[in-house]
Amino acid sequence: MKGLITVRDLGPDQLRAMIEEASLLRDMLDRHEEPDPALQGRCVANLFFEPSTRTRLSFELAAKRLGAHVLTLNPATSSASKGESLRDTVLTIAAVGADVMVVRHLEDGVPQSVAEWTGLAVVNGGDGTHEHPTQALLDAVTLSRHYEGLEGLRVGVVGDITHSRVAGSLLHVLPRLGMDVTLVAPTNWLPADTPHQTTTDFDAMIPELDVVYLLRVQTERGGRITDSYVGNFQLDEPRLARMRPDAIILHPGPINRGVEIADEVAESSRSLITEQVRNGVPTRMAVLRAVGL
């Protein structure tokens, strides 16, 4: 694999293979075993032009666990602040010796541009409202470790779908693995043209779902938190009580407590949010191994 800009390039077999590899790596990490240093002597550059906690740190640890050298650019203290263009910045980092670049940017399409400018393997760490491929992969890993089979699971993706790059990847990955997706949101956050079922009635949908996948309101991309949204779509304790007894809650993080999820729901045993974060490192190891060899 030359890079990972979009999950649309991954067919069901490739997805399943990557999920299986990530899950094996997760088991190894849990046993405190050291994986093969498959990227020894290689250099992974983390270029995050937008804030991140989970994605940046887990890519950094994933690269180190595979034996790679890691470069982490801090845009605020880089020469970008002296007027260096994005293209010149990434060409400089390529010249320093990066073999793989992980790129997050507020604009759609920047990881693709970086791949074209540098000719290097580029992994999309989240671009604008476009895609966040490794988030969708780690979500699939989390689901595959929780359920015996994914075929036929009913997943409700709830919230600010139009501004979400997580949804941009997730809505391709889940159906390719046989899951049935319903988009649950106020009308203004439902995409106009979608192959998925849609509803504005979260309360009616809750008892039907195996998985409630909550999204953060993307205020940095134009999403607006309203009392009406919180009242009708927040997963609070009464709504949690109406979920199927075996249904689970996912959220890509960061969570906004008191907006899309109530405090006590975030802490409940039905929430696999921490498990998603744990699966981030092995998933990104599997991706780096696939693109960095």
Interface contacts to ligand CP, rule CB under 6 A: 52-55, 126, 132, 135, 252-254
Whichever of 94 and 158 has its CB closer to ligand CP, that residue is: 158
Whichever of 138 and 206 has its CB closer to ligand CP, that residue is: 138
In the numeric block, which tokens belong to residue 84?
Answer: 């260096």
| Shortest reach from residue 172's CB to ligand CP, in Å | 17
Do the beta carbons of residue 29 and residue 19 sit within 8 Å?
no
In the numeric block, which tokens belong to residue 265?
Answer: 């729901």
Do the beta carbons of residue 104 and residue 52 sit within 8 Å?
yes
Whichever of 94 and 166 has its CB closer to ligand CP, that residue is: 166
| Shortest reach from residue 107's CB to ligand CP, in Å | 16
N- to C-terminal Cα separation, the chain: 9
Which residue intervals of 177-292 are DSSP H helices?
202-205, 227-233, 237-241, 263-266, 273-292
| Shortest reach from residue 253's CB to ligand CP, in Å | 5
| Shortest reach from residue 251's CB to ligand CP, in Å | 9
Whichever of 206 and 214 has its CB closer to ligand CP, that residue is: 214
Whichever of 4 and 206 has its CB closer to ligand CP, that residue is: 4
**How far is it, in rounded angstroms, from Cα 118 to Cα 45?**
13
Please classify residue 180 by burial: count the beta carbons closer than 10 Å to its beta carbon, then call 0-12 exposed, 13-18 middle and 19+ buried. Answer: middle
| Shortest reach from residue 245's CB to ligand CP, in Å | 28
Query: What number of other Cβ atoms are within 10 A of residue 149's Cβ?
Result: 9
Do the beta carbons of residue 79 and residue 53 sit within 8 Å?
no
Taking alpha carbons only, the member of 286, 292, 291 closest to residue 26 is: 286
| Shortest reach from residue 206's CB to ligand CP, in Å | 24
| Shortest reach from residue 132's CB to ligand CP, in Å | 6
In the numeric block, which tokens belong to residue 63?
Answer: 């690269």
**How far is it, in rounded angstroms, from Cα 59 to Cα 289?**
12
Whichever of 52 and 72 has its CB closer to ligand CP, that residue is: 52
Whichever of 132 and 206 has its CB closer to ligand CP, that residue is: 132
